[in-house]
């Protein structure tokens, strides 16, 4: 049974169009995935820096608290032993 040439041309053009678009779609998907991964990495780095800063600030506060808790006599004795 013969098929109309217009039908075969239409199917051929559609297949060619899909095949021609495939590399561009793949590259677009790759670029989107890469940019998403990089943005997540930048976000994680920022969050890690913030958490580190909070930990360092807490350690500083604890150090200052322990210095302030030491009595004046002990501070004087420590200072005199350092000066000697």
* % of the chain residues with pLDDT over 70: 87
Q: Residue 5: its pLDDT value, please?
A: 77
- Nearest Cα to 30, choosing from 42, 22, 18, 41? 22
Mean pLDDT of 3-16: 73
Name the pLDDT band for 18 (thresholds 50, 70, 90). confident
Domain span at residue 46 reads 5-83
pLDDT over 90 at 29, yes or no: yes
pTM here is 0.54
CA atoms of 25 and 19, how far apart (whole Å): 10
**Tokens for 56?**
């360092």
pLDDT of residue 71: 66
| Count of the separate structural domains present in the chain | 1
């Amino acid at each position: 049974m013969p098929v109309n040439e217009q039908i075969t041309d239409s199917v051929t053009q559609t297949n060619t169009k899909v095949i021609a678009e495939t590399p561009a779609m793949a590259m677009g998907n790759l670029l989107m995935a890469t940019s998403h991964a990089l943005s997540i990495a930048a976000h994680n780095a920022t969050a890690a820096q913030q958490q580190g800063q909070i930990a360092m600030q807490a350690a500083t506060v604890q150090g200052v608290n322990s210095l302030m808790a030491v009595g004046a006599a002990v501070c004087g004795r420590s200072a005199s032993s350092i000066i000697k």
